[in-house]
Structure 1
């Protein structure tokens, strides 16, 4: 690998783009393995995990299991990055970006045929994940990648067995992108296959509208006004008001003398209304 370039950084790790000099092996010809040659790949380094961590190999196992179908982002294997002294996963690089970027970039040219095909491919990929009794756990348009063949599911870093996800939830673990998280998960319930299906519904909405639910829309002018007001508020200093007693002031207090007032009674069961009267109170303060 060479030409390692930073691409993105998240809460769990860093993503780099690199050039695989020999390229992946894909077939056997005349008794020899044939490689593709120079290929751009993604290098995923899990920053918070130590080399040889069990969680690292758990994610690797999940990627290898699901990527066989072709509907999940392909994982070629692992490598060791000398500059970081850490193991990293080598995965396929999607030059067209993710579904979220595609919708923002060219929604006006997207056809219903593209929508139907994309949704079918996403559903098929999610079914493959669920067949292994796994929950994706972080299912949103940013983790759906666009390739020449269509849409594939990626970023299985939070993918877990159903039983493991339930135990993590009991310990108070929380994850996911808010607009795509099912309401029951926000209330502390464990993630299930149904949670992924709810997220898939949010992706369907985004694919047909190019917007996410609960998305705030502010005009540029509103942003400027808000930022200006926020800056002024931070500059303001609270005045130090000190209480002082006047030497000639007389401070007294006494109970208020309320005249008798007829108590308000509810209507009798017979339906007769009580005689309500009111008069102005003369309060001597």
Structure 2
């Protein structure tokens, strides 16, 4: 959807009234059986795969606080695309490597400054979530 005044694009997402995955797991981790945990990880991986299929966007801030959880339908939604960017694009300075995100979920190669965020860095974040 395009903002008629600013002419920038906005993303419209389904409203998830329940808490994010971090809060859900903090309150319910021991009450969820392993089958459900694995099904949730499978759904989350498919959502990330669908984002990456666009072949233009990396999330850059993928952590449980940016995953909305709909208890009623047992669905997860990746949210907060505020730090997302086009792959390989830094509009302010293409030589500058920006570092964003929640520290434990940032891939080591990004953290060290050797690499920019990539799809692989998002997958690393997914692995930390799974762990």
* TM-score normalised according to structure 1 size: 0.40
Q: Write the mapping of 1:1-285 to structure 2, written as runs, cut at 5 A.
A: 52=6, 54=8, 57=9, 60=10, 63=11, 75=12, 91-133=13-55, 134-147=57-70, 148-165=73-90, 170-188=95-113, 189-205=115-131
Evaluate the alpha carbon distance shift between residue 165 and residue 131 of structure 1 in structure 2; reply closer, same or farther with a 3 A threshold: farther
Structure scoring higher RCO (CA < 8 A, sep ≥ 6) equals 2
CA contact (8 A) 1:165 1:190 kept: no
5+ long unaligned stretches in structure 2: none
Give the length in aligned residue pairs.
123
- How many Å separate the matches in 2 of 1:185 and 1:158? 14
Q: Which runs of 5+ in 1 are unaligned?
A: 1-50, 64-74, 76-90, 206-285
- Structure in which a larger fraction of residues adopt helix: 2
Distance 1:104 1:125 in 2: 22
Question: Could you list the per-position Cα deviations for residues 73-109 of structure 1 after superposition, in whole angstroms to 9, with x for gaps in the alignment?
Answer: xx1xxxxxxxxxxxxxxx4332221110001111120
Partners of 1:92 and 1:150 in 2: how far apart?
Answer: 11
SS at match of 1:190: coil
- Structure 2 CA distance for partners of 1:167 and 1:119, relative to 1, 3 Å: farther
**Higher radius of gyration, 1 or 2:** 1
Deviation at 1:121, TM superposition (A): 0.8
Q: TM-score, normalised by structure 2?
A: 0.83
Please report the RMSD computed on the Cα atoms of aligned residues, expressed in angstroms. Answer: 2.1
Offset at 1:150?
1.6
Aligned twin of 1:265: none
